[in-house]
Structures are given as C-alpha cells and as structure tokens.
Amino acid sequence: MFLSFSAILPYLFSSLILLALIEQISYLFKKRHLPGPTFVLPFLGGAISVVTNPTKFWDAQSAFSASLGYSANYIVGNFILYIRDSNLSNLIFSNVRPDAFKLVGHPFGKKLFGEHNLIYMFGQDHKDLRRRIAPNFTPRALSTYTDLQQMIILKHLKQWEELCSRDPTRPIPLRLLAREMNLETSQTVFVGPYLKPQDRARFREDYNLFNVGSMSLPFDLPGFAFRKAIRAVDRLVNTLADCARQCKSKMEAGDEEPTCLVDFWMQETLREIAAAKAAGDAEPSHPGDVEIGGHLFDFLFAAQDASTSSLLWAVSLLDSHPDVLSRVREEVERVWSPESDGLITTEQIREMKYTQMVAREVIRYRPPATMVPHVAMRDFPLTESYTVPKGTIVFPSVYDSSFQGFTEAERFDPDRFSEGRAEDQLYKRNFLAFGAGAHQCVGQRYALNHLVLFIAMFCTLLDFKRHRTDGCDEIVYNPTICPKDGCMVTMSRRCARYPDLASN
C-alpha cells in the first residue's frame, strides 16, 4: 500500500529541517572562534551572494578577517576559510602536497577543469612536467611569441581606433574588445596554425560558456550554466589535443622551426626521446595528446582572463596618472618608433625599464586573480589556536597581500619597483600575483611581456581618454577583476602613421 505525497510531506519537511540543523552545527563546530557569519543559509550558504555580487561577498569576508587575518563561511556544502594575512597565505602556498593542501584554482575546479590539469599535480610528476614545460618560456621562445603578440595587438588597436572614429565623442567599452584580442593572441601563440579558422568561432563560443559557468551556481544538471561549462571545457581540451597531434606529426618530419608554444614543447619532447634512444635507454614517459590539451587549456585560461584584467586596469590607471603616462611615452619613444616599420625587439623591451615597472605595479595594485583556492587534504595546523579541518576550501587572498608591507600600498607607484627601492624583493612575500612555492606561475615572463608590449604600443600609437562616471572603477569579477563600466574610453590615432610591418 502506497502512502500519498501529502502523508509523506511532513516527514520530508522534518528530514530537511534535521539536515539543515546538522549542517549548521557542523559549520559552527568547524568555525569555532573564527570571525564570520554565525548562521548560514541551509545547503547554499553564501553561494547566492557569491554569484550575484561576488565583490560585496569577498569584501565582507576580507572585513571579517581584519582581526585575526582569516575568517570562515560556507558555500554549497563546503566550509571555507578566507586568508587575509600574507604570512598565512605563504604558509598555504608553501604546503601544496598530498598531506597538506591541494591547489584547485576554483572552488569546484576538478569538475570544471577536468582531470588533466597541471594545478592538481604534486611531487615528482609535477616537477617533471614543469621541467618539460620550461623550454616553452626560454628567451628564444619568448622572442618568437613577442613578434606574434605585437602583430595581433597592432591589428586590434587599429580596429579600436577605427571603431572610435565613427563617433569620436562616444566612448566604447574595452573589456570585450580586449578579451577578443587576448583570445586571438593566446590561440596564435599557443597553437598557431593548428587551430583552423573554422574552429576558432566555436572555440570562442565554448570559452565564453566556460567563463559564464565558472561564475554560476555549481549545479551539474542539464540546462545549468555550470553543466554547459563542463561540456565546453571537454570540447576545448579535445580541440587543443587535436592541435597537439598535428604538431607532433609536423615536428617529427624535422627541419621545421617552432612558430608557437606547442611547437617548442613537441620539439623538446622529440629531442628527449631521440637522446634516450641514442643512449640505449628506455623512452621517457610523456603526457599524451589529451593531457597536453588539458595543459594548453590551463595556459589559455591563465593568459586569457588575467591579461584582459591587467590591460583594462593599465588603461584606467595610466589615464588617472598622467605623469606616469608621460614617462612611459618618453621612454618608449627613445627606443622604438612606429615609423621604423619594425617590431619592438627583445632588447628594446629590456630597455623599457620604467614601462616594466608600470606593468608590475598594475599587477600588484590590481592582481587579476584575487584569490587562489586550495583544499585541505588533512587537518592542518594554521596557527597555534586553529587547525583547518580536512576538506575545507581555503582562499589565500592575493589582493589583500598586495596591500600589506609595501610603502604607501594604497598608492599607484611604479617607482616602488625601481632598483633603488626594489620593493618587489623587499616585500616579496606580499607580491603574490603569480603565486608562490612549487606552483608559482610558469608563464609569468610571458604575461609581463604581453602587458609591457600592450602598454608601449597603446600609449605610443593612440591618444585615449577614460570616460569617468561615479563608481566606474569599482571592482567586478568577470571572472578576473575588471572596472565596473568595462573601461569606457575614447581613442584617436596619436602617431603619424602605424607601423607597416609588411615592408619588413
């Protein structure tokens, strides 16, 4: 005999109340004396606030942490710990190992990014992979990339200026334009000719689905943005795996100079295999095509959204600091001229010391990824008075660290990175935008080069004016931090003519 739904309903309701009560007790038990909300929304916790207004949520969490340097909260079944104190953040970064913390990159990263991800690796496997990745970022490789970066930057700057010329008084938002430029740059630098034109449109659509899903409620159900993001990442990884297969075939043929990152990777892989064969040793193990596709997606994610954030803040900060803008223009014009019809060389980049200082200060002042989520693999003694429970998602705040230690940290001051002051060394433990420890960003030189090249070309080729309104520079998450208004600007050509790269 079956009971009616109305008869079962009171029991279901009582069960939900009991589960909510158990959840609340569990949260308070883990929270102990820590600052943070006393009561949390059943089952969801702060998830709705994280999705609808992440800036407000994380600002409140930072405020909670002001007294102890860390605070607690709860998101979709997960107890979380927010770390504001730089010393504690460094403690997390330096203890990424199986019996302490696991870097996840996103609160639900493994489900979202997939299994083949550099950030989940530990120990010798992680060291071996980083060793094999290192040739992708040698001076020779970076020189190849800077040529590609500049050609794409120039192409897009021309497009932006032409767009503004249609109505010179009407500002345009740079965020999506910069995002498109960076996506083309990442695709070209990382996989070059192997990503066919017909695949690029789908690639763009899938990457957008991934972006949207990474900022949504983590429900892996049909129709939800998070499910669409997971499927999009699968397609992106498979596309990049196919690029790796094509590259391997091409590089095995020999006599081909590398033209993109995956070429450098495959060239070194084949060289290592040939050396082992010549020595009579067993062939060393290497990641398969799908694994390489996963790692290429890691690079793409790190380069794409982080660079978009930094470019937008660079434009906004240069506009609000005309003295800095003037010094950048003077320096660039001493070493490079658009009328030379040549690209900026690696040596010229090295000569742009002040522009490099500006780039580093942009990243310090507005670190693109404000937090780096980790998961506690075991109970971990964070301080003498608090042990992080196993399974806790820990959020070391790179953003908060950037405003600790440094001289007048709230001030945008590129000179802090000068040789005389060397605050990047003096306060190295506070400058965490590229991470720290074993998982420090392997591509940071590439990222800095990209920002330096953009600043140099943007300031030299274009005149620009930020359209400022109340709250326009408030921080929003997309998923890296950007100005609230998308960085509205007007632009016009500043140089007598653009470089004619076809003449060289």
Beta strand spans in 320-434 (E): 374-376, 380-381, 387-388, 393-396
| Closest residue by Cα to residue 374 from 59, 119, 77, 124 | 119
Q: What is the phi-psi region of residue 22: left when phi exceeds 0, alpha when psi lies from -120 to 50, beta otherwise?
A: alpha
Q: How far apart are CA 387 and CA 459, in angstroms?
A: 50
Cα of 429 vs its chain's centroid, Å = 19
DSSP 81-96: EEE--HHHHHHHHTTB
- What Rg do the C-alpha atoms of the chain give, in angstroms? 24
| Crossing angle of helices 353-365 and 289-320, rounded to 10° | 100
Cα separation of 42 and 338, whole Å? 60
Compute the Cα dihedral for 190, 191, 193, 199 and give only its sign.
negative
- Beta-bridge mates of residue 74: 79
Please choose, from the candidates 356, 333, 383, the residue with its C-alpha nearest in 3D space to the C-alpha of residue 496.
333
Is residue 60 within 8 Å of residue 342, measured between CB atoms? Answer: no
Distance between CA 221 and CA 396 in Å, rounded? 30
284 DSSP assignment: P
What whole-number distance in Å separates Cα of residue 490 and Cα of residue 464?
Answer: 6
CA-to-CA separations, 38 to 34, 43, 486, in angstroms, rounded: 10, 15, 36
Instruction: Centre a 10 Å sphere on the Cβ of residue 1 and count the other Cβ atoms it contains.
Output: 2
- The structure tokens listed for 408 are 């007048």
Sign of the Cα pseudo-torsion (200, 202, 207, 212, in order): positive
CB 61 within 8 A of CB 374: no
Confirm whether residue 260 is marked as ligand binding: no
Binding-site residues from annotation: 441
Binding-site residues from annotation for heme: 441
